[in-house]
């Protein structure tokens, strides 16, 4: 091949001489023609390579059942490799052209030609670096896309690490291109880079903090893509869409998007609902306030009426027999309600709610279920319902919870109890009418 190139250089030089194009101008024209031919060859190689990829690689990719090579094809990894082939050809052919021109011509190159030669070599090197960087970064992006199709991607996202590698590749490529343009050695540059580390830490503070945060999130399995999280400090309540080195995107339930620094997931309180979603139920924890003025001992007539409620009929029957036996030991138990032990309407109401929850088809009975009385306040006596809905889906869960409390509010008067409620305008109007 070397002999053929020398013959080409000699024939072209002789042809130029027949036209009287000699000297520095003839040498420059000689070089320009060869470079134009070289770049035309490079362009042709680029087109041929792209055709080969389109016909051969596409057919191979589409013939396989593996979806991963389809992703590589769709994201243009193979197409970018096609640009790399002519760049390599041009880069390695340039020295042969320059040497061939000067070995044939006797005129030494002037400053313009030398500058043109230097520019061509540098431009070709920079183009190769750009193409190589494009291939690597696109390949890494495709790798992340391939990884998202794996089951483990939801638990251990690698997008942050991919971005760090991409940033490192781009940074190295940028420094490499600057060294080519300005002619400094990379070894000396990196030696002096230590003096600027403090500045770099300040400039890339968020990136470094985000990188450490993504490592902690992955290692400790704190959050992952698809988790429902609540972050009060950021007014975020929704599903994590994306975790990168610098930012985290949360789609709130109102369909707005909250974007925050990644290190916020480590430095600030985050409520992750994954445990609830992976459990057998979703917790119901809500109370209703009972007016304290309506709490009293049950009379026999009230007990007889409440005995008709099947959920507490057996309880009342057994309790009445038990208390009758105990009260025989108390002197004068029949003379005052303060003497002896008696059932209260609130106590029977709590027992009714316990039986109601245990009999409810939408309550998860394998998990904690109870009805408890909380500390009394100026709002009344809080009776709290604590249990777990079998259906964890938001709308169904809210329906189950609402149905339970609809029933509670409606059944309370049966026990001669009343829900506490602050006076309203209608209450004051009734008082005014009564006063008149």
Which of residues 299 and 195 earns the better pLDDT score?
Answer: 299
Asked whether 28 and 113 are in contact (CB, 8 A), the reply is yes
Strands (E) located in 3-146: none
Q: Over pLDDT 70: what percentage of the chain?
A: 71
In the predicted structure, residue 173 carries a pLDDT above the cut 90: no
By the 10 Å C-beta count (0-12 exposed, 13-18 middle, 19+ buried), 108 is classed as exposed
Greater confidence (216 vs 407) lies with 407
Asked if pLDDT for residue 109 goes beyond 60, the answer is no
Could you write out the three-class secondary structure of 52-106? HHHHHHHHHHHHCCCHHHHHHHHCCHHHHHHHHHHHHHHHHHHHHHHHHHHHHCC
pLDDT for res 309: 92
The rounded distance, in Å, linking the Cα atoms of 267 and 134 is 35
What is the pTM (predicted TM-score) of this model?
0.51
Q: What is the per-residue pLDDT across 254-273, written as a single tens digit (0 to 9) for each?
A: 889 998 888 788 878 888 87
CA–CA gap between residue 84 and residue 132 (Å, rounded): 7
Q: At what angle do helices 23-52 and 111-147 cross, to 10 degrees?
A: 10
Instruction: Indicate whether 7 pLDDT > 50.
Output: no
Q: Can you give the pLDDT at residue 166?
A: 81
Give the separation between CA 398 and CA 181, rounded to whole angstroms.
65
- Running DSSP on this structure, what letter comes out for residue 111? H
86 close to 49: Cβ distance less than 8 angstroms = yes
- Which domains, from first to last, does the chain contain? 2-149 (no CATH), 211-276 (2.30.30.60), 282-428 (no CATH)
Q: Is the pLDDT at 305 greater than 70, yes or no?
A: yes
Does the pLDDT of residue 3 top 60, yes or no?
Answer: no
């Amino acid at each position: 091949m070397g002999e053929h190139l020398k013959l080409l250089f000699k024939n072209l030089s002789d042809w130029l001489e027949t036209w009287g194009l000699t000297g520095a101008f003839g040498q420059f024209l000689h070089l320009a023609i060869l470079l134009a031919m070289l770049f035309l060859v490079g362009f042709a190689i680029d087109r041929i390579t792209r055709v080969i990829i389109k016909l051969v690689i596409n057919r191979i990719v589409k013939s396989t059942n593996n979806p991963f090579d389809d992703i590589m094809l769709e994201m243009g990894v193979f197409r970018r490799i096609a640009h790399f082939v002519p760049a390599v050809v041009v880069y390695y052919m340039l020295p042969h052209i320059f040497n061939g021109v000067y070995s044939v011509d006797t005129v030494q190159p002037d400053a313009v030609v030398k500058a043109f030669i230097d520019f061509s070599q540098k431009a070709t090197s920079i183009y190769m670096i750009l193409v190589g960087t494009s291939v690597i970064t696109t390949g890494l992006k495709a790798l992340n896309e391939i990884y998202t199709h794996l089951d483990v991607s939801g638990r251990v996202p690698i997008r942050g690490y991919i971005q760090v590698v991409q940033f490192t590749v781009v940074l190295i490529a940028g420094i490499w291109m600057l060294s080519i343009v300005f002619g400094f050695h990379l070894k000396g540059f990196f030696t002096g880079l230590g003096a600027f580390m403090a500045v770099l830490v300040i400039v890339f503070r968020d990136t470094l903090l985000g990188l450490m945060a993504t490592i902690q999130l992955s290692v400790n399995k704190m959050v992952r893509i698809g988790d429902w999280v609540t972050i009060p400090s950021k007014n975020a309540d929704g599903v994590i869409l994306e975790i990168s080195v610098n930012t985290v995107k949360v789609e709130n339930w109102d369909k707005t998007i909250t974007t925050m620094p990644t290190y916020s997931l480590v430095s600030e309180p985050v409520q992750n609902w994954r445990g609830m979603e992976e459990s057998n139920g979703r917790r119901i924890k809500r109370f209703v306030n009972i007016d304290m003025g309506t709490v009293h001992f049950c009379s026999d007539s009230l007990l007889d009426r409440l005995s008709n409620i099947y959920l507490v009929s057996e309880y009342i029957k057994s309790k009445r027999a038990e208390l009758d036996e105990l009260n025989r030991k108390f002197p004068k138990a029949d003379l005052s309600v303060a003497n002896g032990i008696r059932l209260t309407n609130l106590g029977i109401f709590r027992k009714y709610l316990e039986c109601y929850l245990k009999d409810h088809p939408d309550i998860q009975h394998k998990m904690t279920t109870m009805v408890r009385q909380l500390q009394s306040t100026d709002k009344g006596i809080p009776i709290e319902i604590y249990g777990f809905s079998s259906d964890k889906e938001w709308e169904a869960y809210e329906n189950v919870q609402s149905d339970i409390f609809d029933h509670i509010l409606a059944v309370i008067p049966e026990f001669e109890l009343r829900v506490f409620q602050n006076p309203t305008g209608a209450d004051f109007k009734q008082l005014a009418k009564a006063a008149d």
